[in-house]
Amino acid sequence: MRRRIDAAIVTWGALRIDALSRQVHHDGRAIDLSPKEFALLHYLVVAGERVVTRDELLRKVWNLDFDPGTNVVEVGVARVRRKIDHTGPERIETVTGEGYRMAPPLGEAL
């Protein structure tokens, strides 16, 4: 199974996200994320392979019902990528013209 969701723990491959303690681990190593970075990663992992639009992320993560004309989503995704992908391939994929989604965990295909 690619994703496991229970009361507080969400996993995606080697990523483990604890929503209660707001901690993220990759291969057992703790990853320090800001509150917005945590919310962004959690939202994307829960969405899984479903493409999440920029507007959806603005509403659900940044609580904005309008496009402020900034690149806040792109910057947030880039920061999370740097923190979780420094040892391997990108786990957050850009779907050109649509949005973002989680790449299948290593060793699994779409």
pLDDT at 67: 80
- The string of pLDDT tens digits covering residues 29-71 is 999 999 999 999 999 999 999 999 999 999 999 999 888 788 9
3-102: CATH number:
1.10.10.10
- Residue 5 scores a pLDDT above 70: no
- Residue 109 scores a pLDDT above 60: no
Domain definitions of the chain by residue range: 3-102
- The string of pLDDT tens digits covering residues 84-93 is 986 667 789 9
* DSSP line for 8-51: SEEEETTEEEETTTTEEEETTEEE---HHHHHHHHHHHHHTTS-
